[in-house]
Amino acid sequence: MEELRPAPGDGGRRRESTSLRFGTVAAVLREVTRAERLTCPAFRSPPALVGVCRSIRRRRDGHATVSVALRGRPWAAVLADMVEGVVAANRLRGVAADHCRARLWAGLGDAGELGVGGVAPRGAAGSPEPGERSNGEKAPGFAA
Report the candidate in 104, 64, 69, 70 with the shortest Cα–Cα distance to residue 84.
104
Do the domain assignments include residue 33?
yes
Give the tens place of pLDDT for each residue, 51-76: 999 999 999 998 999 999 999 999 99
Q: Is residue 63 part of a domain?
A: yes
pLDDT at 132: 52
Mean pLDDT of the 121-136 span: 47
- Is residue 41 assigned to a domain? yes
Residue 6 lies in a domain: no
**Structural domain tally of the chain?**
1
Instruction: Specify the range with the lowest mean pLDDT, choosing from 12-21, 34-43, 83-92.
Output: 12-21
* Helix 75-89 / helix 18-35 crossing angle, nearest 10 deg: 30
Is residue 86 in a domain?
A: yes
Decide if 123 is inside a domain: no
- CA-to-CA separations, 26 to 44, 57, 95, 135, in angstroms, rounded: 9, 16, 23, 34
Q: What pLDDT score does 119 carry? A: 39
pTM to 2 decimal places? 0.71
Q: How confident is the model at residue 18 (pLDDT cuts 50, 70, 90)?
A: confident
The share of the chain scoring above pLDDT 90, in percent, equals 62
Residue 59 lies inside a defined structural domain of this protein:
yes
Q: Per the domain annotation, does 106 fall within a domain?
A: yes
The residue range of the domain holding 47 is: 12-110
If 0-12 CB within 10 Å is exposed, 13-18 middle and 19+ buried, where does residue 143 land? Answer: exposed
pLDDT at position 94, please?
97
Measuring CA to CA, how many Å separate 52 from each of 20, 81, 134?
22, 11, 33
Using pLDDT thresholds of 50, 70 and 90, give the confidence band for residue 3: low
